[in-house]
A and B are shown apart, each in its own frame.
Chain A
Amino acid sequence: MLPHLSPAEKHRFEAEIVPHLDVLYRMARSVCSDGDLSDDVAQEAFLKALAGFEGFRPGSNGRSWLARIVHNTCRDHWRARHRRGEQGWDDEIEAEVEAQGAEPGWEPGIIRDAFDDDVDRALKALPPRWRAAVLLVDVDGWSYDEAADGLGIAPGSLRSALHRARRVMVRTLNETAARRGRSTGEAAT
């Protein structure tokens, strides 16, 4: 059911929230992985934003406000799937993913030479919260504070999630490159 909005509120919504639709879309695509589901999640999050716009304080950060809604909507969908026996959202899965290997070698050439499918697979293998963090900070260039606000977590937790997510992605891409016959070099720290 659509909420009642005055013409002024519609105008304000269009000015402060609509410019961030790409953020909404990429987050939904990133976290949900499944293309059809992500469109549904994007639409559901958008409806929630419309319905909750009364609570949006003028002048506050529209894109992190929207990101929080998308994140929560994705999490709800994810948990619904988890109840049906699929992968979960919480720290348990994050710890499980992180525990799978040692510090990777950080070689830019491996990342640059990877196939798109390999990069996409490495991203999809991350726990959803890590994916959202990588998307906001490493892809869209958000500050740590803003991304933490958008994901509803502490900045320290965000940094930790990012560090682990990058390490897991790089390790996955190194392993893929090794399977394809390319040397990954030594850990460079």
Chain B
Amino acid sequence: MSDSRVCRLIQDDPHGESWGPDEHAHLAVCPGCAAHVEVVAALGARIAALPRFAGGMPGALRGRLLELVAACPDAPTVPDNVVVMPGTARGRRPDWTRRIAMPVAMAAVLVCGIFLGRDLAGPGVDPADPRRTIGNYISDVTHDHYLLEELGRPLEIASTDREQLSGWLSRSLSFGVDLPPADGTFALEGGRVWHTVGRLSAMASYVTPDGSRAILFAVPATDLDLAGAPSSMIHGVRVFRGTGWDHEARAWIDGDLAMALVAPTGHLPESWPEVFLH
């Protein structure tokens, strides 16, 4: 590198951020560059020592600013009895996820479209979704007990008001949810949006005075195949029963919804479904 180019580089970067061996060697033999570097360093030191900069922020101003932090009102927090799962946290997503979210979603829709289209067009394929059966519904809800046992009580919203929680679930989902009255036996404690047998579903958590807990699921009953699970009539309603993952469950149709009841402890007393069927 020519001397003039090295001189220019040093004088453009007198703090040596981008210097290599050439620049260091040049500095030792070029009085002009050495003086330039020394002047910049001296200038910085003189400015730093000026009375109006020395000592940093005065204590009074610092104290005033810190008081402002302390005076900020607390933001609304999640109620104590609500555990928000990491996947549902309302935090700000990183930029890169926002940038790729749309292309990924479009690609996923395209791939799903290709596969579904191929299946529908193929010969001998039952157009009914084989996963949406009452048996699989019971299997899903019994499996989901892990939410309560492994993760605490992952409710998105704490509410003891049936209408309020029904409204919140309905607004959060693409279908209306009218939680049945629990006849005073169970106290509603909250709920969340969940995913069951291929559809978004509502989940509500109830607790008895002795601390036992029951979870009620609701999912659109459209296209749900009711064959394949034993059933009995309770208060004129056909109630399906099943066991999965060492847990018992009951399911029934209520208007447009398929309801399912499961107990995190596994055992579901016979009287519990009746509470919701009055």
Contact = CB atoms under 8 A, between A and B. Distances in A.
Are chains A and B native binding partners rather than an unrelated pairing? yes
B32 A135 contact: no
A114 B47 contact: no
A129 B48 CA distance: 17
A119 interface: yes
Interface in B1-28: 7, 11-15, 17
B61 A42 contact: yes
Interface stretch (B71-79, B143-151, B197-205, B220-228): B71-79
A64 interface: no
Contact of A106 (B39, B47, B58, B62): B39
Given A4-B74, A134-B47, A46 B62 contact: no
B87 interface: no
Contacts, number: 129
A137 interface: yes
A108 B35 contact: yes
Contacts of A4: 72-76
Given A22-B57, A25-B61, A116-B51, A111 B46 contact: yes
B32 A188 contact: yes
A6 B53 contact: no
Contacts of A166: 14, 39-40, 43
- The contact size tier of chain A is 35 or more
Describe B's contact surface by its main secondary structure: helix
A80 interface: no
Contacts of B209: none
B68 A50 contact: yes
A43 B65 contact: yes
Contacts of A26: 53, 56
Given A106-B32, A108-B42, A10 B72 contact: yes
A139 B47 CA distance: 7
Interface in A5-21: 5-7, 9-10, 13-14, 18, 21
A98 interface: no
A35 B52 contact: yes
A123 B32 contact: no
A3 B43 contact: no
Interface in A99-143: 106-108, 111-112, 114, 116, 119-120, 123, 134-135, 137-139, 141, 143
A21 B65 contact: yes
Contact of A139 (B48, B65, B69, B92): B48
B34 to A, nearest CB: 9
B39 A144 contact: no
Contacts of A55: 92
B230 to A, nearest CB: 50
Contacts of A135: 47
A24 B66 CA distance: 13
Nearest to B49: A116
Nearest to B76: A4
B36 interface: yes
B44 A139 contact: yes
Given A108-B42, A116-B50, A189-B11, A2 B56 contact: no
A117 to B, nearest CB: 9
Most B CB within 10 A of own CB, among A30, A144, A188: A188
Please name the 8 residue pairs, one residue from A and one from B, whose CB atoms are nearest each other, closest first: A138-B44, A25-B57, A22-B56, A111-B42, A4-B75, A108-B38, A6-B75, A188-B32
Interface of A: 2-7, 9-10, 13-14, 18, 21-22, 24-26, 29-30, 35, 39, 42-43, 46-47, 50, 54-55, 57, 106-108, 111-112, 114, 116, 119-120, 123, 134-135, 137-139, 141, 143-144, 159, 163, 166, 169-170, 188-189
Given A116-B46, A134-B47, 5 more contacts: A3-B72, A57-B94, A111-B39, A111-B46, A189-B36
Interface of B: 7, 11-15, 17, 31-33, 35-36, 38-40, 42-44, 46-53, 56-58, 61-62, 64-66, 68-77, 92, 94-95
